[in-house]
Structure 1
Amino acid sequence: MTIERIEPGQRMAQAVVHSDTVYLAGQVAADTVGTGVTAQTQAILGQIERLLVAAGSGKEHILMATIYLADIATFSEMNAAWDAWVSKDNPPGRATVEAKLCGSAFLVEIVVVAARIER
């Protein structure tokens, strides 16, 4: 079996495909200055969708999502963006936790695992 790395860098790849499973690195909003949780979540979901398509998948094939919030009190703000985006017919498993993220400007980080449907 081969392993495909999408957008590899020195430290990590943004996505790794092994067999029929796509693993995304934790995604944060690229431009976070002055943005809130909903805006960051929307930006992240766009990045996730782009990476999944590049890997031969899509949001309807997400198996599991883990969402990290810098402040769990912003749960409803994040859900406003998530609920508008997630596949209504194929929702994934999901966990949301409060965590100290890698920089104070980051309010949300999302990790997903998805099934690959195209080769």
Structure 2
Amino acid sequence: MTEKTAYTPATHTAPPARFSHGVRKGGILQVAGQVGFPPARDGAAPRPAGPTLRAQMEQTLANVEAVLREAGSGWEDAVMIRVYLTDTAHFAEMNEIYDAYFAELAVPPAARTTVYVGLPEGLLVEIDAMAVLG
């Protein structure tokens, strides 16, 4: 049986419950839902990168990428991305930000699903991802 390895980049806040920011088992890496919190600062409570979808979306994508990199992976290995939005009115803007973020990749980063959810106050977006590693 393959062991699990947990990943939490040094820049990330501690999860609010008993889970890892990312976990690898065999060739599968699951990145837990990430939100738009900037890098952790000692003694400071986590707060969103800003009040706008753009600020939170860009930080959230950077946070997912940090977990991928911590595990020796990257967007090239991602096979599934789920975007959780709190407001259906943000869908078009989210797509613009998403497309710009991945513009330099030769092929789209992964299959994607968008879901509408409730998140803690002030948070507009959460993203998780699954990667298959060689």
Q: TM-score, normalised on structure 2? A: 0.79
Verify: 1:14 aligned to 2:21, yes or no.
yes
Q: Structure 2 CA distance, aligned partners of 1:39 and 1:33? A: 6
Query: 2:11 corresponds to which residue?
Result: none
For structure 1, which segment, 26-35 or 91-100, has the greater mean C-alpha deviation from structure 2 after superposition? 26-35
Separation in 2 of the partners of 1:19 and 1:61? 14
Residue 33 of structure 1 contacts residue 105 of structure 1 at CA under 8 Å; is this kept in 2? no
2:97 maps to 81
Which of 5, 28, 32 is equivalent to 1:25? 32
Q: Which ranges in structure 2 are unaligned for 5 or more consecutive residues? A: 9-13, 38-46
Aligned partner of 1:61 in structure 2 is 77
Cα 1:22–1:33, aligned 2, differ >3 Å: closer, same or farther? closer
Determine if contact 1:55/1:116 at 8 Å carries over to the other structure: no
Q: Deviations over 1:40-97 (max 9, x none)?
A: 1100111111110111210111100111100011012212221112234143110101
CA 81–57 in structure 1, closer or farther in 2 if over 3 Å, else same:
same
RMSD: 1.7
Aligned to 1:93: 111
The alignment covers a number of residue pairs equal to: 116
Q: Is the contact made by 2:83 and 2:115 (CA closer than 8 Å) also made in structure 1?
A: yes
Structure 1: gaps spanning 5 or more residues: none
> What SS does the aligned partner of 2:96 have?
helix
Paired residues of 2:53 and 2:125 also in contact (CA < 8 A)? yes
Q: Distance in 2 between matches of 1:60 and 1:4?
A: 20
SS in 1 for 2:57: helix
Q: TM-score, normalised by structure 1?
A: 0.88
Structure 1 residue matching 2:68: 3-state secondary structure: helix
Report the CA distance shift for 1:5/1:83 in structure 2 as closer, same or farther (over 3 A): same
Distance (Å, rounded) in 1 between the aligned partners of 2:108 and 2:98: 13
1:47 aligns with 2:54: no
- Aligned-pair CA distance for 1:34: 4.1
Q: Is the 8 A contact 2:50 2:56 kept in 1?
A: no
